[in-house]
Chain A
Amino acid sequence: MSLAQRLLNGDRRALARLLTYVENEHPDGEAALSDLFGHTGRAHIIGVTGAPGAGKSTLVTALAKALRAMGKTIAILAVDPTSPFTGGAILGDRIRMVDLTNDPGVFIRSMATRGSLGGLSRASRDAVRLFDAAGYAIVLIETVGAGQSEVEIARIAQTVLVVEAPGMGDDIQAIKAGILEIADVLVVNKADRPGVDTTVRALKLMLELGHPALRANIDSHHGRMVAVTPQPEAPNGNSAFWLPPIVQTTATTGGGIEPLIAAIERHHAYLRESGTLATLESRQINTELHERLRELLLRRLLDALPPHAIEDAVARIQRRETTPHEQIAQLVDAEQQPRL
């Protein structure tokens, strides 16, 4: 029986092995994804991001425990950084997820970024698809500790939680562009600590500055700001725009987890009822196609260039005989010349 078929039958070892294949770009991984693609699109994909030390792993654990108690099956993808110097990584998120082990309804996989920027690994998207096809109702993705520009998670997740903690930055940090703009739910964790009111106030201010009717979406591929046309009020009186709620939690004790789950479910319902879910998915697929095309074309170009073409170009540019722009034009032309 194929690994894909075994995965569909609930074989956890097959899922684990396919995750490895996908991560290592093994051809069997791609083949399995083709077989399984028709089984994807059912899971609720939730991203959890935020600064290092904000409590992401603990929050993911608390969320998973509460969701398990509600009878939902959960897959967790926990991403940690690869050392840029050695290529190695310490994947330590399981330390905080001890309460979730030995539960057949939970599958935890740790993944290293392997040089990819943006807080995720290259294989994250396909790993989520494997979890989805395996029938997990909820996929939780925990990014590496993220700063202000690690927004890759918005290209994969349907609901993005941005986790902050008191005392981790003043209100200027909170209004910087980037990570807060991708939040669907803002979580102020460690709410038992002093300074929580200041943090909540700063986040509220940030949200008010970005009035929902004027909220712009970052065009996923080009990074341009695209104005979003305000929608007329929906008949039920709810705005068609989602205003991210701020939820306070104390993940270590489970405090605030119920309201957080309620906020996540409200967001999921909003996505479905407003039709945003389909728009979001089409935008994510569009981004993915651009990314993969760019990668493929670059690889083809580099493969087709004569040996040392890049090195020669570098040397000529360094001698000021030509410019980077001219060289690029020449390299692309060279690739397009039919070679006899």
Chain B
Amino acid sequence: MSLNRPIRVLIAKPGLDGHDRGAKVIARALRDAGMEVVYTGLRQTPEMIADAALQEDVDVVGLSILSGAHLALVPRVRELLNANGMGDLALIVGGIIPEDDKPALLAAGVQAIFTPGANTEDIARTIHEIVDGKAAPA
């Protein structure tokens, strides 16, 4: 089942990354896939991201992390989302994520991980699948 309304996605950059080229490319690609993308800019704390996700009532939060701090930042965002009653909100991560770290992130409640070179159409399709899967009657 697909929704008759645009999917809302928050794209956020936690931590101290110096640029957000990748996040902007993704934001644009998702817009071109018909989604409404809330983009919050650089250097966000996990608290700021969870608060923005709450106010914007998005379907998906996408975190872009290049700095290597993903093992600290991602579980913290998940924790705050859960604490704010958004346990069912999908979390995806993109950026420089070593293969070895992926299981830990998936175990921490991340639905999908994308690394450099990922096809933007695949990302959009994955988001559609995650949101449609949730919306479908159980």
Contact = CB atoms under 8 A, between A and B. Distances in A.
Contact of B31 (A16, A89, A98, A101): A89
Contacts of A17: 57
Interface string A22-54: 011000000000000000000000000000000
Contact of B28 (A90, A110, A114): A90
11 contacts: A13-B86, A23-B5, A82-B36, A87-B34, A88-B6, A90-B28, A91-B38, A95-B39, A95-B40, A101-B51, A102-B45
Contacts of A283: none
A216 interface: no
Interface string B12-48: 0000000000000001101111111111110011011
B38 A94 contact: yes
Contacts of B55: 12, 16, 107-109
B119 interface: no
Interface of B: 5-6, 8, 27-28, 30-41, 44-45, 47-48, 51-52, 54-57, 84-86
Given A88-B32, A101-B51, A110-B56, 19 more contacts: A12-B54, A12-B55, A13-B84, A13-B85, A16-B55, A17-B57, A24-B5, A86-B34, A88-B31, A88-B34, A88-B37, A90-B28, A91-B37, A94-B52, A95-B40, A98-B48, A107-B55, A109-B56, A114-B6
In order of increasing CB-CB distance, the 9 nearest A-B pairs are A88-B31, A95-B41, A16-B57, A101-B48, A87-B34, A20-B57, A91-B38, A88-B34, A24-B5
B6 A94 contact: no
Contacts of B36: 82, 88-89, 91, 112
A17 B84 CA distance: 13
Contacts, number: 80
A54 to B, nearest CB: 20
Nearest to B20: A95
A86 B38 contact: no
Contact of A90 (B5, B39, B44, B52): B39
A94 B31 contact: no
A89 B85 CA distance: 26
A325 to B, nearest CB: 35
Contacts of A94: 38-41, 52
B57 A19 contact: yes
A252 B44 CA distance: 20
A323 interface: no
Nearest to B5: A24
A83 interface: yes
A102 B8 CA distance: 21
Nearest to A17: B57
A92 interface: yes
Contacts of A20: 8, 57
A87 B85 CA distance: 29
A98 B30 contact: no
Interface string A69-94: 00000000000001100111111101
Nearest to B32: A86
Nearest to A24: B5
A68 to B, nearest CB: 15
A207 to B, nearest CB: 37
Contacts of A23: 5
B32 A101 contact: no
A110 B48 contact: no
Nearest to A108: B55
Nearest to A109: B55
A91 B51 CA distance: 16
A282 B35 CA distance: 37
Interface string A104-123: 00011110101000000000
Contacts of A16: 54-57
A289 B84 CA distance: 38
